[in-house]
Amino acid sequence: MNFECFFPPRAGLTLAGERSRDARVLFPGDAHAQYRGRFARPHVTSSRPESVRPDGSEISTLDIFSYKKKVMAPASSMCELVCLVLFWELRSSGTVEAANTRPHIIFILADDYGWNDVGFHGSNQIPTPNIDALAYSGVILHNYYVMPVCTPSRAALMTGRHPIHNGMQHEVLYAQCPWGLPLSEKLLPEYLKEMNYSTRMVGKWHLGHFKAVYTPTYRGFDSHYGYWVGHQDYYDHTSQENPLYWGYDMRHGVNNVSWSSYGRYTTDLFSEEAVRIIQDHDDSQPLFLYLAHLATHSGNPYMPLQAPAEVVHQFDYINDTRRRTFAGNYLIITICPPGMVSKLDESVGMVVSALKEKGMLDNSIIVFSTDNGGPTNGFDNNMASNWPLRGIKDTVWEGAVRGVGLVWSPLIPGPSRVANHLMHIQDWLPTLLGAANYTGGQFNFNEGVTPLLDLSREPTNMKAYVKR
């Protein structure tokens, strides 16, 4: 696939016809999609002339597709959450035989990202063209669930287990907490290393650091550039949780504190590191890149919402000053939540472009997810939006636990579409291991569901697994 990023966010477009909804890929020309009234032009083209329909017939390069459009579905209660995950049918032979053919896995995790702060959910305030391009040419997870706050969600993602069973069912970890994700838990990168994956992490950890063995490079990652705690200032990279716990937290691994990062915007630093990892990647290994952004989490209380001035000025059209600006306690500086989202979207585009330039994109799986719902209306010094969902981060309402999520890959058969199947963040571990053809035996958990469902088509005679 050729993925053209950084395209103008407000291009006009029309819908493709229903006649071509079985196409697997987008071809040169205009291919358009609509989701909840929001339009975008994904600018994705195919470099695979052998692309075929599910019945095996070839697709003319003049064909375009639109995924089946769905309106908002009634939300299910948490007790009825069906843990369904993807079954990945690889085009070549249905399995992945050799290490060098295993898919590259890129997992981009946004922090505190609100349901209504992304274009493909209908936001008309903050353009997110690069995230939308992945969504419109991939699979939008319309009924995707997460935990209400960061640490439990990240623990579920890394272990494939619900927090009540991995010991992280509490609130978030604070800097002074003398515990972390139990060492008895085997994490996603540890599974992937058994299949010769290069495992790289960039960004926020938040699963414990009171001893070195709890930190990322001791838990399966070959490298980590980022921070250990729950948040930091976007420029000075200190974390202030209360007057007693305030310190610099930006590092490479355990002992190499990155003082050179001081003064540079966190999202830019993480984006550049992710691009560098992709550019320097050894082609003989599959890559697992876990990019856990600070955006759009608040920074420290004295300056919670920060973005570069040149980005902030792009959003002068937003009339609600609470949404557009937020002044620090003693610094008279205009800062802007939309700017934080815009830089996050730019980062997604940079990563996808780097994959394309390296020749890795055609064999990649890209997941974009939030860790929990957005903190709205000033909660946690933030101005996210979860409309029309009720509730905010740190509650049990939909606004906290129903998250922004999508998956994109040329390896997923069938057209782009909106998937209404219920899925939980803990399901990613078995899903991604299934995509990589993991053969290491039984997992050490029983909550995450082994890949059963191909989200490239509507379910028929589907067996639902319900946790009550």
**Are 453 and 167 spatial neighbours (Cβ–Cβ below 8 Å)?**
no
**For 273-373, where are the E strands, in sequence order?**
287-292, 364-370
d(CA 229, CA 242): 13
The one catalytic residue among 121, 162, 206, 293: 206
Contact 342, 125 (CB under 8 A): no
Torsion of CA 396, 397, 402, 403, to 10 degrees: -80
Residue positions counted in the chain: 468
Of 150, 224, 281, 293, the active-site residue reads 150
2-3 and 44-45 strand pairing: antiparallel
Contact between residue 148 and residue 154 where contact means Cβ atoms under 8 Å apart: no
Indicate if 281 belongs to the active site: no
Question: What's at 240, amino acid-wise?
Answer: Q
Sequence-distant (≥ 6) Cβ neighbours of residue 321 within 8 angstroms: none
Closest CA to 159 of 130, 182, 129, 125: 182
Paired residues of 140 in beta bridges: 406, 418
Phi, psi of 152 (to 5 degrees): -60, -40
Q: How many CA within 13 A on the CB side of residue 377?
A: 7
| Buried residues in 200-235 as b, exposed as e (16+ CB within 10 A) | bbbbbbbbbbeeeebbbbebbbbebbbbbbbbbbbb
Decide if 206 is catalytic.
Answer: yes
**Rounded (5°) CA angle 109-228-238:** 105
* Inter-residue contact 115 to 399 (CB < 8 Å): yes
Q: Strands (DSSP E) along 111-211, which ranges?
A: 139-145, 198-204
Q: What is the CA radius of gyration of the chain?
A: 21
Catalytic residue IDs: 150, 206
